Every structure is written in structure tokens, then in C-alpha cells.
Chains A and B, each alone.
Chain A
Amino acid sequence: MDRSNKAAKQMDRTKHVGRVKEKMMVMEIRHMQKSFGNRKVIRDLSLNVEEGQVTAVIGPSGSGKSTLLRCAALLDPMDSGELLYLGQHAAVTNADGKVVYAHRKKMKEIRSSFGLVFQNFNLFPHYSVIRNIIDAPMTVQKKSREEAYWAGRKLLSRMGLSDREDSYPYQLSGGQQQRVSIARALALNPKILFFDEPTSALDPELTGEILEILRDLAAEHRTMVLVTHEIEFAGNVADQMVFMDDGAIVEQGSPNEILNHPKQERIKTFLNSLKRRRKGICY
């Protein structure tokens, strides 16, 4: 509680006085643990994300990257640890070692602070493209149809899909569907946006269009956490890079530090295996 008060005070100071340059923490994960049965998937993981920061999470398959994101997005319950959004507790571990999530009303507020773009889009198949984007603003945020519609149109044109407003998801390519799902997430104006391998379900020639949009969002200094296998791209857009293996953060730092001067042997091995694989594909 003490911590969250402090964070709230900091927020206030930044807002009203503007003298304190300290950046606001949008998301804080402290000592998160998660198991599936006997298998430990997340081991005592802590991670902070500052406002305006792009965090890339990389690492081999099965290292717990997606689980980390799912726990942070409250899709999977964590086993222990703390989770905060904008200094507010979404989850704490009490004295008995049990995770306690915030109450419904507070949870609703906390949920509105993040968005998530899924690997396989999860668009609503029975809604048109525009309805996919504006239904949540209308249903959840109680915006008027008009307001939601014009905001939705703007997002669609930004995604280069102005002419697909009335299409249904099945009529779109994978890349187009993913662009709609990004627009759907942006429509709610979340403080932090999670991407769970947003290009992994796409044909290689379609990943480019999604990466371009991500680059755009990064340039706007949107707060994002990006789980990806596109290491090179991640290196270009990220402010902070996290290398995960076996449920823990192996190393954390600037992309330059992680990709060009990794301290850990495991990262070197991983990067080398990627290089070899890429060469293999080239030949």
C-alpha cells in the first residue's frame, strides 16, 4: 500500500509541478511466479516498464515469454508476486502466500489501462471490421456511436484499411486482420499495449506490414511490450530489451547491450543459432 501511495504522489507531482522529471511506471511486475502443474514457467521475474518505453522480450520458444504477457494481461492467474499498473495494485501476495487480485470495480479500471494484440488476432467473426473496432468503445466506454465511429474510421485509415470498413474478418488476409486487431486495441486508448508474437501467425511476406505499424507506434512513444521472434526488428525499435530463458530474465538492457555485447553465454548461443538458421534459409 505504502508503495502505491508513493507512486501516486509521484504522479501528482509530475502532473502539477512538472519539475520532477522522474518517469512514471506504467507497469511493474515484482517476483512473479507461475507454474503449470509441476512445470515452473515463470521463476521470480521482475520487470518495470516506464511511460513511453518500448520493451522487447526475446528468447527461445518455451522460455515463458507469452505466459509472462498473459499473466500481466490478467488472462492467466499468477501463483505469487505483485502486479501494478500506474502505481495501482492489480495483484498482491498476502502473508499466506496467496495472490489476491483487486476488487471488481478497481479491476475494471486497471483492465482499461492495457491492451493486448494476440498472435492469432481473435477478431470477432460475426462483426464487420468497423464494428470490431467500435463495439468495445461503445459497450465498455459508453461512447456514442458517432464518436466511436469517427475515431474508428481514423484508425482504419491509419492502418491503410479505409476501404475495408464493411468487410468481415474472413474476407481479409492475415496481415489485414492483424491490422484490424491493432486498431481494435488502439481504439480503447490503453496506457500500455502488449503484443504477443504479432507476426508469428503470418506468412513471411505479410510480416513487413505489421512491423511497419509497430515501428510507427514506437516512434510515437507509445508504451509497449513486444514479445517477438523478430530479433533484428526488436533491436531497432526497442528502448529496453529483455532476454528470457527457462522462465527467468537472463539479461536486461539496451538492445545494443543484449544483441551486440551480451554478457551471458546463453544469449550468444541463442543469437548464433538464429544467424545460422537464417543463413540456412538464404542458401
Chain B
Amino acid sequence: MEWTMILTKLGEGMLVSIEIFAWTLLLSLPLGLLVAFGRMSGNVFLRGFVKFYISVMRGTPLMLQLMVFYYGPFLLFHVSLPGGYRFIAVLIGFLFNYAAYFAEIDRSGMESIPKGQYEAAAILGYSKAQAFRKIILPQMVRRTLPAVTNEMITLVKDTSLAQVISVSEMFLAASAIAAKEASMLPLFAAGIFYYVFNYLVALSMEWAERKLSYYR
């Protein structure tokens, strides 16, 4: 294979990895917040259901979950889905898995805000939604930032799991080329890619933490 060819293949894989990362992050953060509300709900059934969902998502391998989301529809309901479903299945799997983790982070963040903050907001006449948006959420984001950074870094590396349902992300692309060319170099390049990606993630989150540390 020619070098340009190899670089194109790796580049394509890289884009897929970045896409999985970006979509998962974008969708699972808000979904995680909703799940956290469900987890803290006064409704026993909702709370129980959400607790069960979180424990399954955290208690089983993401790799297995991806397979279930991809093969499940056909094996269980004999629905055959179009080829593009492969990538959708990856997104669904990552979304539900990461939302569960983010939900627990959000919950711990919300519970760490002193009760007096909720009470002051109530006395001043804020509705529950206003109090959450203006008083609780900003303080919660700051408190949960380090934990969210951890999850983001794990997510970057987890994108490589998409290969179990043959989505050609960075790692699968690299190992395919490595096998063909009988060379370790493509895998080494993949390693560098993950490292640089995570370095940038850590850097931007550090910046965000600094930005939010204007108060105590």
C-alpha cells in the first residue's frame, strides 16, 4: 500500500473516532442530567427503574452493550436494519452507557450543593426551574468538572470498542493496515492519535476549570 493510501485510511478512522466522541459527549451530558433527575425523583417507580438502568449500564461491558444494540433488533424482533444502522447502534450504545455515568456524577454534584442555596432561592421566589438553572447548575458544573474530564478521557479510548460491530474507527483501521503491511507503525500512529486527543481534552478542561474558579 502506498503511504498516501495508508494516511487516508488512518485519517478516515480518526474522523469516525472523533465523530463517536463528539456525538456521545453532546448527547449524553444532557441525557445524563435527565437521568439524574429521574434517579432523584420522588416517584418510586421512576427512581427504581432509573436505578436499575444505571446499574445495568455500569455493571456490564460496553462492548457487550454495543453488540446488543446492533444485533438485538434482528435477533429479538427479526427486524433487519439498513447498513447505516451500524454507526447508529454505536451511538445509541455509547449514549446510554455514558449517560448513566454522567447521571451519577450530576447527582453527586447536585447533592453536594448546600441546602441553604436551595432555600435562599426559594425564599427569593425563584421557581424550581429558575433556581436550578441560575443557582444550582452553575455551581454543580464547576464541582463536577474534574469527574467529567475523567469520563471524557475514558470515552476517547472507549471509541475503539466500536470495532466489535465492525465500525471502522481509528483502531480497527490501524490494525487492518498493520496486518496487511506486517508493520507496527500504524498501531503506533493510532497510539499517538489517542494520546494527543486526550492531551487536548485535558488541556481544554483545565482551561475551563480555571475559567470557573473565579469564586470559592
Contact with A along B20-54 (1 / 0, CB 8 A): 00000000000000000000000000000000000
Contact A124 B135 (CB under 8 A): yes
A101 interfacial by beta-carbon distance below 8 Å: no
Residues of B within 8 A of A139 (CB): 126, 130, 134
From B114, B130, B138, B215, contact of A140 by CB (8 A): B130
> B residues 195-216 with Cβ under 8 Å of A?
214-216
Q: Does B123 contact A (CB under 8 A)?
A: yes
Interface assignment of A125: CB less than 8 Å from any CB of chain B: yes
Separation in Å of the A274 CB from the closest CB of chain B? 28
Which residues on A sit within 8 Å (CB–CB) of B119? 75, 118, 122
Given known A-B contacts A126-B215, A140-B130, A168-B215, A108 and B125 have beta carbons under 8 A apart: yes
CB distance from B81 to the nearest CB of A (A): 45
Q: Output the nearest chain B residue to A128 by Cβ-Cβ distance.
A: B215
- Docked complex: B126-140 residues within 8 A CB-CB of A: 126, 130, 134-135, 138-139
Nearest B residue (CB) for A141: B125
Beta-carbon contact of B138 and A188 below 8 Å: no
Contact A140–B124 (Cβ < 8 Å)? yes
- Does A135 count as interface, using CB distance less than 8 angstroms? yes
Identity of the chain B residue whose Cβ is nearest the Cβ of A125 in the assembled complex: B215
Partner of A116, one of B123, B126, B138, B215: B123
Whether the Cβ atoms of A126 and B123 lie closer than 8 Å is: no
Question: Contact at A184–B124, with CB atoms within 8 Å?
Answer: yes
Report the Cα distance A95→B130, complex, angstroms.
35
Q: How many residues of A contact B (CB 8 A)?
A: 27
A66 CB → nearest B CB, Å: 12
Judged by a CB distance under 8 angstroms, whether B116 is at the interface is yes
- Could you tell me the distance in whole angstroms from the C-beta of B113 to the nearest C-beta in chain A? 10
B125 touches A135 (CB 8 A): no
A140 to B124, CA, bound (A): 8
The SS class assigned to the B binding surface is helix
Contact with B along A134-174 (1 / 0, CB 8 A): 01100111000000000000000000000000001110000
Instruction: Check if B117 is an interface residue, CB within 8 A of chain A.
Output: yes
* 8 Å CB contact of B125 from A75, A112, A169: A112
A271 neighbours in B (Cβ, 8 Å):
none
Cβ-closest chain B residue relative to A76: B119
* Contact call B122/A118, Cβ cutoff below 8 A: no
Contact bitstring A176-195, B, C-beta under 8 A = 1, else 0: 00000000110010000000
Is A221 in contact with chain B by the CB < 8 A criterion? no
Q: Is the CB of B138 within 8 A of A126?
A: yes
- The smallest C-beta distance from A116 to any residue of chain B, in angstroms, reads 5
Query: What A residues does B134 contact at CB under 8 A?
Result: 135, 139
B7 at the interface (CB under 8 A from A): no
A73 within 8 A of B: yes
Q: A112-B125, A140-B125 are contacts. A170–B216 as well, Cβ < 8 Å?
A: yes
Asked if B147 is at the interface (CB within 8 A of a chain A CB), the reply is no
Q: A124-B117, A124-B135 known; A136 and B216 CB under 8 Å?
A: no
In the assembled complex, how far is the CB of residue A94 from the closest CB belonging to chain B, in whole angstroms?
A: 22
Residues of A within 8 A of B (CB): 73-75, 108, 111-112, 114-116, 118, 120, 122-126, 135-136, 139-141, 168-170, 184-185, 188
- Pairs of residues from A and B, 10 with the lowest C-beta to C-beta distance, nearest first: A122-B116, A122-B120, A170-B216, A136-B124, A140-B125, A168-B215, A116-B123, A125-B215, A126-B138, A126-B215
With contacts A126-B142, A140-B124, A141-B125 known, what are 17 further pairs, Cβ within 8 A?
A111-B123, A112-B125, A115-B123, A115-B124, A118-B116, A118-B119, A118-B120, A122-B119, A122-B120, A124-B135, A125-B139, A126-B138, A140-B130, A168-B215, A170-B216, A184-B124, A188-B125
Pairs A–B under 8 Å by Cβ, sample size 26: A73-B123, A74-B122, A108-B125, A111-B122, A111-B125, A112-B125, A114-B123, A120-B116, A122-B119, A122-B120, A124-B117, A124-B120, A124-B135, A125-B139, A126-B142, A126-B215, A135-B134, A139-B126, A139-B134, A140-B125, A140-B126, A140-B130, A169-B215, A184-B124, A185-B123, A188-B124
